[in-house]
């Protein structure tokens, strides 16, 4: 298995945050960035039909299946210990594709972070942490703005077919680190070097995931649906809004007005999300009502803690202008439900 060192230089579109629950943020944590890559890869695989609910480990909150040593040894004797022999062994054990790529108990991740090069001076202390007065919205106390370079270790066998399409998806739609609920973690790729050789943009901007050697279908990064914010808020039927937001696809909810003052844009987007949440408000006020629960699951809630599936979205275009709106991944809610009893 030949490995590539792929150095990706990013610039922050929105601030990067990889701190802990106490908002202590003194370094950029590789585990947080790899965790982000895995999450979005799982979203892609789930929405693309590569994984199903039965592959999801609800206790761990991801697509995973542990590997027992005696089981993998038997399969390796059968298929061999080279790269594709090991992949065939994992396929035979019905290990979900995200666990094959990013690891599970008994199997090491194929994509790793070797080193992160960042500038300590780019950590900024935020003095005014309130985003919107009288609302429970706060900026992080410390955030990172500017460039950083991440050195990835990637096997040659998945460089073109999985890593580059995933990087392209992250460049356009994904979020890194934490604080997604306030739009943090949108990074833009500035340049890429493979083994110190500069790579042209059109050589890594791959739109197609090729999973054929993993026994799966292809998926296109371009299969992102766009909805109009105005059209969405003009709808009176909650069920219709739910259907639009919760379809098993990444939904980009586009708006027209977007300027270069990122913090002001995020404030505007959070207000728009609040407007959409208010529009979605069911008549029932009982917290146990199914539609009230669904509202909390889609838009986020603090009692108990429930992360929002509607995220402020900002993307920097090649001509140094911006597009913005909201990004919906509410289609992942099915994974958080108890499995249904099915008659055999």
CA-CA distance, 240 to 251, in Å (whole number)?
A: 15
| Backbone angles phi and psi of 281, in degrees to 5 | -55, 120
CA distance 26 to 126: 14
DSSP 286-322: -TTSHHHHHHHHHH-EETTEE--SEEEEEEE-TTS-E
| Residue 159 per-residue DSSP state | I
What is the DSSP secondary structure assignment for residue 158, as one 8-state letter? H
Instruction: For 304, list phi and psi in degrees, rounded to 5.
Output: -75, 175
DSSP secondary structure of 39-91: HHHHHHHHHTTSS-GGGEETTTTEE-----HHHHHHHHHHH-SSHHHHHHHHH
Listed residue (309, 311, 312) closest to 336, CA to CA: 309
Q: How far apart are CA 107 and CA 101, in angstroms?
A: 9
Task: Give domain limits for the chain.
Answer: 3-220, 225-336
Kind of pairing, strands 225-228 and 251-254?
parallel
Q: Which two tokens stand for residue 266?
A: 């995020």
Residue reference for tokens 């279908």: 217
pLDDT in tens, the chain (344 residues): 688 999 999 999 999 999 865 566 778 999 999 999 999 999 999 999 999 999 999 888 899 998 888 888 999 999 999 999 999 999 999 999 999 999 998 889 999 999 999 999 999 999 888 888 877 788 998 999 999 999 999 999 999 999 999 999 999 999 999 999 999 999 999 999 998 899 998 999 999 999 999 999 898 887 788 888 888 888 888 888 888 888 888 999 988 778 778 999 999 999 999 888 888 877 766 766 778 888 888 988 765 557 899 999 999 988 888 999 999 999 998 786 443 333 32
16-29 as b/e: b if 16+ CB within 10 A = bbbbeeebebeebb
pTM value?
A: 0.92
Give pLDDT, residue 330.
92
CB 72 within 8 A of CB 109: no
Q: Which residue has the tokens 């934490």?
A: 178
Beta bridge partners of 80: none
3-state SS, residue 269: helix
Instruction: Give the number of other Cβ atoms within 10 Å of residue 239's Cβ.
Output: 9
Cα–Cα distance measured from residue 206 to residue 217, given in angstroms and rounded to the nearest whole number: 16
* Phi-psi category of residue 106: left, alpha or beta, with phi > 0 → left and psi -120 to 50 → alpha: left
Tokens of 145: 């703005």
């Amino acid at each position: 298995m030949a490995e590539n060192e792929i150095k990706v230089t990013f610039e922050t579109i929105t601030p990067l945050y990889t701190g802990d629950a106490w908002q202590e943020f003194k370094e950029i944590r590789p585990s947080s960035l790899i965790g982000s890559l895995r999450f979005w890869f799982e979203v892609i695989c789930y929405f693309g039909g590569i994984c199903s609910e039965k592959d999801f480990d609800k206790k761990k909150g991801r697509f995973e299946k542990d590997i027992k040593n005696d089981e993998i040894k038997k399969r390796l004797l059968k298929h061999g210990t080279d790269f594709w022999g090991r992949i065939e062994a994992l396929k035979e054990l019905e290990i979900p594709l995200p666990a094959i790529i990013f690891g599970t108990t008994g199997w090491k991740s194929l994509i790793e972070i070797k080193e992160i090069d960042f500038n300590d001076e780019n950590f900024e202390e935020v003095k005014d942490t309130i985003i919107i007065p009288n609302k429970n919205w706060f900026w992080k106390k410390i955030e990172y703005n500017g460039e950083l370079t991440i050195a990835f270790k990637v096997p040659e066998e998945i460089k073109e077919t999985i890593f580059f399409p995933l990087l392209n998806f992250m460049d356009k739609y994904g979020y890194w680190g934490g604080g997604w609920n306030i739009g943090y973690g949108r990074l833009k790729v500035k340049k890429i070097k493979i083994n110190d050789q500069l790579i042209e943009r059109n050589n890594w901007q791959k739109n197609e995931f090729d999973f054929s050697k993993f026994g799966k279908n292809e998926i296109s990064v371009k299969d992102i649906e766009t909805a109009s914010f105005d059209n969405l808020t003009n709808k009176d039927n909650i069920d219709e809004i739910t259907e639009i937001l919760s379809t098993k696809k990444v939904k980009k909810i586009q708006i027209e007005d977007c300027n270069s003052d990122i913090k002001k844009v995020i404030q505007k987007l959070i207000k728009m999300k609040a407007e959409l949440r208010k529009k979605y408000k069911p008549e029932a006020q009982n917290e146990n009502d199914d539609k009230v629960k669904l509202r909390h699951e889609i838009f986020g809630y603090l009692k108990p803690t429930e992360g929002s599936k509607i995220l402020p979205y900002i993307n920097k275009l090649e001509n140094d202008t911006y597009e913005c709106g909201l990004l919906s991944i509410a289609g992942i809610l099915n994974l958080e439900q108890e499995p249904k009893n099915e008659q055999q």
